[in-house]
Amino acid sequence: MNIIINRKLKSLDNESGKIIRNAIENIITVHEKNKNAYFFRSYGSGRGDFENVLRFSPNEKKYDIRQTRSSSAKNVYFATHIYVDEVKKDIRVLKNIL
């Protein structure tokens, strides 16, 4: 699953905004599913890895969201990085948008 969207928007209420809202909902769902996950072992290097990237700019704010899951031979790593105007934020920012 890879989502890469880079859009400049006036509002999240139009058709393009619906695409962004669906992508945000997907990122929140994946985050909730994996945030407290403990992976005992990797299922092979690179298997199940993904990267979601979402960049959008409504109302002169720049949102940059990157979500990754990667694996090595022994470990699995999951991270969600959210930046609003280049300031690091947490998942609550996305929940408040919806």
What is the phi/psi pair of residue 79, to 5°?
A: -150, 145
What pLDDT is stored for residue 15 in this prediction? 72
Structural domain total, the chain? 1
The contacts of residue 8 (CB under 8 Å, 6+ apart) are 56, 57
pLDDT digits (tens, 9 = 90+) for 26-40: 889 988 888 776 665
- The domain in which residue 26 lies consists of 4-97
CA distances from 61 to 56, 83, 88, 92 (A): 8, 10, 13, 16
Categorize the per-residue pLDDT at 10 as very low, low, confident or very high, splitting at 50, 70 and 90: low
Q: Is 56 helix (H, G, I), strand (E, B) or coil?
A: strand
Q: Which helix (H) or strand (E) holds 16?
A: helix 15-34
pLDDT digits (tens, 9 = 90+) for 33-81: 887 766 655 555 556 778 888 888 877 788 899 988 877 777 778 889 9
Q: Distance (Å, rounded) from C-alpha 58 to C-alpha 12?
A: 7
What pLDDT is stored for residue 1 in this prediction? 46
Q: Distance (Å, rounded) from C-alpha 32 to C-alpha 25?
A: 11
pTM score, whole prediction: 0.76
Q: Distance (Å, rounded) from C-alpha 40 to C-alpha 95?
A: 30
Q: Is the model more confident about 36 or about 1? A: 36
